[in-house]
């Protein structure tokens, strides 16, 4: 579904993503793991059109979409749930959700949007209870749910999820990841960026490890979970914990 | 959960050329990124040529990267080629081929899993099933190769008789008593074995043997026809090197139009021997391998010394993996005897050490009933031979034992007059095939 080839991204003269290639097949959950500043969010932002890459190709369903505007990419089927949620705080939950379907305003699509809203509210019943509430007054977990729900309102083929567990209590993290799995089971393809590598590798099919803007390792989620280097660097298992097990 | 398209290992060999291109680019980029930061040899070599890891845009850019030779591996013995800390390595194989220091190859748990996966893939394509009884008959020098294959066969649930330093008679007894269905050996040893079986009074028709997995040496078409028509044994050939990919790096499918290379784990190239020139697919040259998934010992452009040809067109079996033709010769000082690689220069050093002086000798590779054996004809010069025959025989006995220990294959040392070997010495020929 998504193929990235030799992508370079710069902030001014500073190279942040240095020749990255990766792919996501239809129906997969693929995660990107790496330390702060490795280039994970920058990469997602380039896929969703928020940043224009300096060089390289982003093929979505066989078409190079690198450099297209975000709204064009949403129309093609790529939708992002951004890091730090970035919901419209002053608006209600309902308004936020409708903005997610901003590009689906035609008469023909209205019925579909209503059906999607219904489905999404079944997926996130907490949001249904708070439809008229101002989004900024929601709890962190609820805001995250709203950010994902808003992205889903565009009916994407590929969902880009940036740090969905950031700042959430463990129980809420479980709930969010369970929802991600449900979405994938319904056929949604997901590219996930996550600091919580343990959780990400639990639900993903495959993963890529990024170090200072480059991919240094990739493999099935199971392989990465078993990898000593990944365990030490990203899964919080240092030498002593590995040897004590 | 919905299964993603082409996720399983079974389907990877049938991937589209476009998928191979993407996979090769991704894996090569991460391999080069890793070796650049973790293996000082590659960092130095790349910096010397002004190469940064970012130049790799596809597998076509491989040519810009430095080569790796067996000597490089030996020079960096024991740890300097490892790309992971020693504590992540769960197995080390040490090879001693032709260089002063041995080579040490490390494997992480994941490397071992990959090798086992390749062995299972190969054995599955040979239709090995849990009901099979798989017997290994390999020289100690090839025992390392047997390790992965034996693990693969065990994982498939087959009964495995691993390689033991047994006599041919003992091996035949086991073959008959345990009703071995699959033998893993070299082509030459199989020929020898089949000639010996009737001599022991065991009718070939009484054996359950129906499949031979032949490693270490190339399988000649005439021999395959003979095995299949005369003995009813299906002969399947595999190619592998220990340094990269292991014994199941390439194997034959039912179409027998070359050996399918596991290009999800390595990228093969063909290079003109003695130069750096990459040859187009179809031309004969030295096989060069770059590993894509090795964690402990990733190798970039490893020169195997084996001469072959590369075929990139898809096979009639449907697999799209590239194929190599059977290896017919080598382009270095290594000699392959029953699949064990020997280096004539190391043999020279070995005899110099054993005799405490430089000796004139010739390595004779004999072919007896299809089975290769090594003899070393040593010139008994006046400085070497003190006049005591018992001393000479004692020295020969000690040297023969030491030879087997060092090279993993037995040899017969024959004292001869200088005139006997002078014709070869005069032309600088160190190895003679008789």
CA distance A36 to A237: 18
CATH of the domain at A226: 3.40.50.300
The structure tokens 């040392």 sit at B413
- Has residue A209 been placed in a domain? yes
Residues B319/B260, Cβ–Cβ less than 8 Å: yes
Nearest residue in B to A15, CA atom: B54
Choose among A8, A181, A215: nearest Cβ to B29: A215
Residue A195 contacts B, CB cutoff 8 Å: no
Report chain A residues whose CB lies below 8 A from the CB of B293: 219
CA distance B54 to chain A (A): 6
- Has residue A147 been placed in a domain? no
CATH of the domain at B142: 3.40.50.12780
Strand locations in B35-129, DSSP E? 89-95, 103-108
Report chain B residues whose CB lies below 8 A from the CB of A22: 26
Domain-terminating residue out of B273, B300, B331: B331
- Has residue A228 been placed in a domain? yes
| A38-47 per-position pLDDT tens digit | 889 999 999 9
CA distance B216 to chain A (A): 31
Q: Are residues B392 and B318 in the same domain?
A: no
Range of the structural domain that residue A240 is part of:
1-67+189-245
Identify the pLDDT of residue B335. 77
Q: Are residues B73 and B193 in the same domain?
A: yes
The structure tokens 């489905």 sit at A119
DSSP state of B220: P
Q: Please give the average per-residue pLDDT across A107-130, as a whole number.
A: 82
CA distance A157 to A74: 9
A18 forms bridges with which residues in the sheet? A8
Q: Are residues B66 and B201 in the same domain?
A: yes
Domain count, chain A: 1
Residues A228/A234, Cβ–Cβ less than 8 Å: no
Q: Please judge whether A5 and B22 are an interchain contact, meaning their C-beta atoms are less than 8 angstroms apart.
A: yes
| B218-254 per-position pLDDT tens digit | 788 888 888 888 888 899 988 988 888 888 899 999 8
The structure tokens 């799209």 sit at B320
Rg of chain B over CA atoms, in angstroms?
23
CA distance B74 to B302: 13
Identify the pLDDT of residue B1. 35
B270 forms bridges with which residues in the sheet? B287
Q: Which residues contact B303 (CB under 8 A, 6 or more apart)?
A: B67, B68, B69, B70, B271, B286, B288
Identify the pLDDT of residue A151. 87
Q: Which residues of chain B have pLDDT under 50?
A: 1-9, 99
CA distance B76 to B44: 13
Q: Please judge whether B29 and A21 are an interchain contact, meaning their C-beta atoms are less than 8 angstroms apart.
A: yes
Q: Are residues B77 and B165 in the same domain?
A: yes
Q: Which tokens is A177 given?
A: 């990841």
Which of B341, B337, B382, B336 has the alpha carbon at shortest distance from B360? Answer: B382
Choose among A27, A28, A218: nearest Cβ to B26: A218
The burial class, CB within 10 Å (0-12 / 13-18 / 19+), for A38 is buried
Whether the predicted pLDDT of A57 surpasses 90: yes
Range of the structural domain that residue B412 is part of:
335-433
Q: Are residues B304 and B342 in the same domain?
A: no
CA distance A6 to B61: 12
| B155-196 per-position pLDDT tens digit | 999 999 988 778 888 899 999 999 999 999 988 888 888 888
Q: Are residues B77 and B89 in the same domain?
A: yes
Whether the predicted pLDDT of A209 surpasses 80: yes
| A129-170 per-position pLDDT tens digit | 888 888 788 888 888 888 888 888 888 999 999 988 887 778
Choose among A5, A185, A218: nearest Cβ to B30: A218
Residues 2-61 of A with CB under 8 A from B: 3, 5-6, 8, 18-23, 25-28
Domain count, chain B: 2
DSSP state of B200: T
Residues B161/B136, Cβ–Cβ less than 8 Å: yes
- Has residue A203 been placed in a domain? yes
Report chain B residues whose CB lies below 8 A from the CB of A211: 33, 37
CATH of the domain at B387: 3.30.300.30
Domain-terminating residue out of B312, B331, B350: B331
Report chain A residues whose CB lies below 8 A from the CB of B22: 3, 5, 21, 23
Identify the pLDDT of residue B97. 60
CA distance A68 to A143: 28
């Amino acid at each position: 579904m998504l193929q990235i080839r030799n992508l370079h991204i710069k902030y001014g003269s500073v190279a942040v993503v240095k020749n990255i290639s990766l792919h996501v097949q239809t129906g997969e959950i693929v995660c990107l793991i790496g330390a702060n500043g490795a280039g994970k969010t920058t990469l997602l932002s380039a896929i969703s059109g928020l940043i224009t890459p300096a060089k390289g190709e982003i093929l979505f369903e066989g078409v190079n979409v690198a450099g297209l505007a975000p709204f064009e990419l949403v129309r093609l089927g790529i939708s992002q749930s951004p890091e730090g949620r970035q919901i419209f705080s002053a608006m209600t939950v309902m308004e936020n959700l409708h903005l997610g379907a901003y590009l689906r305003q035609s008469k023909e699509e209205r019925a579909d949007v209503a059906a999607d809203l219904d489905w999404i509210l079944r997926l996130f019943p907490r949001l249904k209870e708070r439809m008229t509430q101002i989004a900024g007054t929601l709890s962190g977990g609820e805001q995250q749910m709203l950010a994902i729900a808003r992205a889903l309102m565009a009916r994407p083929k590929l969902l880009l999820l940036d740090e969905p567990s950031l700042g959430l209590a463990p129980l809420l993290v479980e709930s969010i990841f369970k929802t991600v799995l449900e979405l994938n089971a319904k056929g949604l393809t997901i590219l996930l960026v996550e600091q919580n590598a343990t959780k990400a590798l639990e639900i993903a099919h495959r993963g890529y490890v990024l170090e200072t803007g480059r991919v240094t390792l990739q493999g099935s989620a199971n392989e990465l979970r078993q990898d000593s280097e990944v365990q030490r660097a990203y899964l919080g298992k240092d030498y002593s914990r590995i040897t004590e097990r | 959960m919905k299964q993603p398209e082409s996720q399983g290992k079974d389907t990877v060999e049938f991937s589209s050329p476009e998928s191979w291109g993407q996979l090769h680019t991704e894996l090569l980029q991460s391999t080069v990124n890793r070796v650049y930061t973790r293996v000082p040899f590659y960092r130095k070599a790349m910096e010397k040529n002004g190469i940064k890891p970012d130049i790799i845009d596809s597998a076509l850019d491989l040519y810009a990267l430095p080569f790796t030779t067996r000597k490089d591996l030996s020079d960096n013995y024991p740890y300097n080629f490892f790309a992971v800390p020693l504590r992540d390595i769960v197995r080390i194989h040490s090879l001693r081929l032709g260089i002063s220091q041995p080579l040490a190859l490390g494997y992480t748990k994941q490397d071992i899993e990959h090798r086992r996966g390749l062995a299972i893939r190969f054995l599955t394509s040979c239709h090995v099933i849990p009901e099979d009884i798989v017997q290994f008959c390999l020289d100690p020098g090839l025992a390392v190769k047997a390790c992965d294959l034996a693990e693969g066969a065990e994982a498939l649930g087959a009964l495995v008789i691993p390689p033991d330093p047994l006599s041919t008679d003992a091996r035949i007894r086991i073959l008959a008593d345990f009703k071995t269905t699959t033998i893993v050996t070299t082509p030459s040893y199989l020929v020898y074995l089949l000639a010996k079986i009737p001599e022991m009074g065991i009718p070939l028709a009484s054996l359950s043997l129906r499949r031979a997995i032949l490693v270490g040496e190339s399988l000649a078409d005439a021999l395959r026809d003979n095995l299949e028509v005369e003995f009813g044994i299906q002969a399947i050939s595999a190619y592998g090197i220990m340094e990269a990919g292991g014994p199941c790096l390439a194997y034959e499918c039912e179409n027998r139009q070359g050996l399918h290379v596991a290009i999800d784990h390595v990228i093969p190239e063909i290079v003109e021997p003695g130069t750096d020139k990459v040859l187009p697919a179809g031309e004969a040259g030295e096989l060069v391998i770059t590993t894509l998934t090795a964690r402990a010992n990733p190798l970039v452009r490893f020169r195997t010394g084996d001469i072959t040809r590369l075929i990139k067109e898809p096979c009639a079996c449907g697999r799209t993996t590239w194929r190599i033709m059977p290896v017919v010769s080598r382009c270095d000082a290594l000699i392959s005897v029953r699949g064990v690689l020997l280096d004539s220069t190391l043999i020279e050093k070995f005899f110099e050490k054993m005799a405490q002086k430089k000796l004139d000798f010739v390595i004779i590779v004999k072919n007896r009933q299809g089975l290769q054996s090594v003899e070393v004809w040593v010139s008994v010069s006046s400085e070497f031979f003190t006049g005591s025959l018992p001393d000479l025989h004692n020295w020969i006995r000690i040297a023969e034992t030491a030879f087997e220990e060092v090279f993993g294959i037995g040899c017969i040392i024959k004292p001869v007059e200088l005139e006997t070997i002078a014709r070869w010495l005069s032309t600088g020929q160190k190895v003679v095939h008789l």
